[in-house]
């Protein structure tokens, strides 16, 4: 549930004719470096990972650890989990100068309720309370990989006047178009689909090699810890490498080894023979 901040015009995104494309709040993953990457590939809005509001307010050290941004990291929504209104309000005030909205996590693990009327009632109540938009993950609390209930998302959308964003199993722009057509939502939020292909919102079906090298540049520039740097690449390379290549790559233990692997497997980004875009697929080779 997102509330607009005074210094942002993030709601203007919903006035366009195309759906708003959002990078989901992902624990450990949707940090500044990855947000910087997906913004290069047509992502409209990025969320921070979920932050526990009480911990965030406890000390400046906690705030510095949990929330990192820069001047070009916009539009940005900060997601908090909180159990009392004052703590949430205090945390929102802290991030207000550096973000465009605050999101209250109401979805771990309760997503849509098995009795959809309860979810609709909750959404109507928070709309009346003044939230700017609502994101709906179309699964119940005990569902993880089951099909998304797009009919439930449509019901929720039809019951509200504020924008609604759909979340769940969005892995391509074809999925984006189909889900928007099916549910009438105003935007989509992707998590695993963007981990596998950070350029997904730009319309390419597989991770372009340019995106891989962009990630190397961004991660090195921002000092991303190796484990995070490596895990992102494991996701990104899964569909564009062979099983033996993945076996080797997954066991690498340093940034230098990763760069050597990428150069030996795909060529350096300056080698045009290895790095041109296929006009039919949009995938770099």
CA atoms within 13 A on the CB side of 245: 16
- Is 219 annotated for ligand binding? no
Per the structure block, which two tokens stand in for 272?
């045009």
- Is 26 annotated for ligand binding? yes
**Which candidate in 43, 108, 211, 228 is catalytic?**
108
Q: Residue 98, exposed/middle/buried by CB under 10 A (0-12, 13-18, 19+)?
A: middle
108 in active site: yes
Indicate the angle between helix axes 226-237 and 209-222, nearest 10 degrees: 170
- Is 191 annotated for ligand binding? yes
- Is 22 annotated for ligand binding? no
Task: Output the CA torsion sign for 67, 71, 72, 74.
Answer: positive
State the CB neighbour count (10 A cutoff) for residue 125: 10
CA 52, CA 198: separation in Å to the nearest integer? Answer: 26
Using left for φ > 0, alpha for ψ between -120 and 50, and beta otherwise, residue 172 falls in: beta
Per the structure block, which two tokens stand in for 17?
């004719």
- Is 263 annotated for ligand binding? no
Q: Would you please indicate which residues are annotated as catalytic (active-site) residues?
A: 108
Annotated binding-site positions: 25-27, 79, 137, 191-192
Annotated binding-site positions for FMN: 25-27, 79, 137, 191-192
């Amino acid at each position: 549930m997102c509330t607009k901040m005074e210094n942002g015009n993030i709601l203007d995104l919903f006035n366009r004719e195309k759906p708003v494309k959002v990078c989901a709040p992902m624990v450990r993953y949707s940090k500044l470096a990855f947000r910087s990457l997906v913004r290069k590939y047509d992502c409209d809005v990025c969320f921070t990972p979920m932050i526990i509001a009480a911990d965030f307010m406890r000390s400046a050290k906690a705030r510095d650890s949990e929330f990192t941004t820069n001047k070009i990291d916009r539009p940005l929504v900060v997601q908090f989990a909180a159990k009392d209104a004052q703590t949430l309000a205090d945390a929102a005030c802290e991030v207000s100068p550096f973000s465009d909205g605050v999101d209250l996590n109401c979805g771990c693990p309760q997503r849509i309720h098995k009795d959809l009327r309860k979810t609709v009632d909750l959404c109507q109540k928070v709309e009346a309370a003044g939230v700017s938009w609502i994101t709906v993950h179309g699964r119940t609390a005990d569902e993880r990989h089951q099909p998304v209930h797009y009919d439930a998302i449509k019901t929720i959308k039809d019951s509200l006047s504020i924008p609604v964003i759909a979340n769940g199993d969005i892995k391509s722009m074809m999925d984006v178009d189909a889900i928007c057509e099916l549910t009438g939502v105003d935007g989509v939020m992707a998590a695993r689909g963007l981990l596998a292909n950070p350029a997904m919102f730009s319309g390419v079906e597989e991770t372009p090699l340019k995106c891989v090298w962009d990630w190397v540049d961004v991660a090195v520039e921002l000092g991303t810890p190796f484990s995070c740097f490596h895990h992102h690449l494991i996701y990104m390379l899964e569909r564009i490498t062979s099983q033996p290549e993945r076996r080797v790559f997954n066991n690498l233990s340093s940034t230098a080894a990763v760069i050597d692997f990428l150069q030996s497997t795909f060529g350096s980004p300056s080698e045009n023979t290895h790095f041109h875009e296929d006009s039919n697929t949009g995938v770099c080779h």
